[in-house]
Amino acid sequence: MEEQKPAGDAEALEKEKAGLLERLKEADRRYRYKVYEAKALSEMLEKRKKENPLPPAREIRKNIHRLEFIISTEARTLKQERELVKEVRGWEKKLSGAIEVERMERRLVFISEDIKRAEQQVKEFETRMNELRAKVHEKQSAEHKSRKEKKLLDLKRKVEEEKLKEIKPFMKKNEDGRVDLGEICVIKKKEK
């Protein structure tokens, strides 16, 4: 029963390692997806900035409010007011583009944070995986060592039994249960 317990421990560690490996693969897939998404989004953002460089949305809003204030407070000719209204509409179109660029930049920041979290998660999983591999290797080597030791003990026991079988005929007991000294030891003569 003691042999089954370490084997069960090793099997449990193997199952945990397999589950962790699946989670590691999923985290790695998520990490790679986020990296590709960030790359695509940054390329699109750079392209958009090169094609149509826009000031920040805050400045565009200030210009729109300034122009609307001028339209509503100052007396202008109809032609001048139409020109100002056209300018406001132009700035409003630019505003939607600038807002879209800012959203893309914000999304890029969120994606980079996701990438950092995914990197950390992958590192944690890899560290845990290495720990589990070491434990599994340790358990397996201990099991292998215990099997070797068991084989050696079995072999030793068999050798002892063989020796006992060889000696048994020489071990004659007296009727009172005593054994003569000459029967249990070999007396060697001193060599000259």
Q: Is residue 148 part of a domain?
A: yes
pLDDT in the model for residue 3: 42
Whole-number pLDDT of residue 2? 40
For helices 78-167 and 57-73, give the axis angle rounded to 10 degrees: 160
- Does residue 191 lie in a domain region? no
Query: CB–CB of 188/182 below 8 Å?
Result: no
Intervals of the chain under pLDDT 70: 1-8, 169-187, 192
Is 129 contained in some domain? yes
- Report d(CA 156, CA 32) in Å as an integer: 58
pTM: 0.57
Does residue 141 lie within any of the structural domains? yes
In a domain, 135, yes or no: yes
* Amino acid in the structure at residue 177: G
- Domain span holding position 90: 4-184
Q: How many folded domains does the chain comprise?
A: 1
Residues 100-124: pLDDT tens digits?
A: 888 989 999 999 998 899 889 888 8
Specify which residues 173 forms β-bridges with. 179
Residue pLDDT, tens place only, 64-79:
898 888 888 888 888 8
pLDDT score recorded for residue 4 = 43
The two tokens of residue 136 are 């599994």
Q: Flag whether 32 is in a domain.
A: yes
Whether residue 68 lies inside any domain: the answer is yes
Structure tokens that stand for 140 in this block? 């397996």
In a domain? residue 42: yes
What pLDDT was estimated at residue 180? 64
pLDDT computed for residue 158 by the predictor: 92
